[in-house]
Amino acid sequence: MSDMPKDNATTKATPEDAEAISRTLALAFDDDPMMRWFFPEDTTRETGLRRYFHTLFTRQYGLHGVCERTDAAAAFWVTPEGADKAVPDADTVRELTEILGDRAPVFRAAVEAAAEHSPKEPHWYLAVVGADPAARGQGHGSALLRSGLTQADAAGLPVYLESSKPDNLPFYEHFGFETLGEARLPGGGPVLWAMRRAPGAA
């Protein structure tokens, strides 16, 4: 039953989790301004998002990042050691281009704009974190965030992220993130807020 409490213990995500993770993240990001910019059609957004997150997990972050999940949420992190490898290869780019269709140029422009502001210092990067809306308030996102931050703190490294959803900023601030600035995506896209958390910040 969807209204039953779900376990928010974090575990390492495996290839066998790909379908469940892509389904969860599609639901989590349905109302995200950036994802709605990439997938503007209500009737096809969920299918597009499932394929998008499945590709990111199986071809990119699942291979070269730190991916964790709970029963109702998932998070993709990139460490300094995996940063170069986590850049999409040609096959991944082709797959994403096919998924995004006529929105692919918008996606490429957004990725290029974000890359221009990539931090130069060694850091952990929170690429994706999301929880099934039916399980929000049960601590799934917090559990995943704490797990990654603990690992970054153990390495003595800061953490960076970008958010296109202003309602999420206080959530990240609660975990010690500070807003560095904001920028609007090219072509009239949504605003992105860049955030940084110093090692060990409360």
Give the domain CATH number at 78.
Answer: 3.40.630.30
The structure's pTM equals 0.93
Owning domain of residue 153 = 12-197
Would you say residue 4 lies in a domain? no
Would you say residue 1 lies in a domain? no
Would you say residue 142 lies in a domain? yes
d(CA 168, CA 120): 25
Would you say residue 41 lies in a domain? yes
Domains: count for the chain:
1
Strand 177-184 vs strand 124-131: parallel, antiparallel, or unpaired?
unpaired
Number of helices (H), then strands (E), in the chain: 8, 7
Would you say residue 126 lies in a domain? yes
d(CA 117, CA 113): 7
Write the CB contacts of 130 (distance below 8 Å, at least 6 apart in sequence): 24, 25, 28, 29, 73, 74, 75, 141
Strand 159-163 vs strand 191-197: parallel, antiparallel, or unpaired?
antiparallel
Provide the residue-wise pLDDT of the chain in tens; the chain has 202 residues.
344 447 789 999 999 999 999 999 999 999 999 999 999 999 999 999 999 999 999 999 999 999 999 999 999 999 999 988 878 888 999 999 999 999 999 998 888 887 777 898 999 999 999 999 999 889 999 999 999 999 999 999 999 999 999 999 999 999 999 999 998 888 889 999 999 999 999 7
Would you say residue 48 lies in a domain? yes
Report the DSSP beta bridge partners of residue 185. none
d(CA 46, CA 49): 5
- CA atoms 55, 61, 62, 67: torsion sign: negative
Would you say residue 202 lies in a domain? no
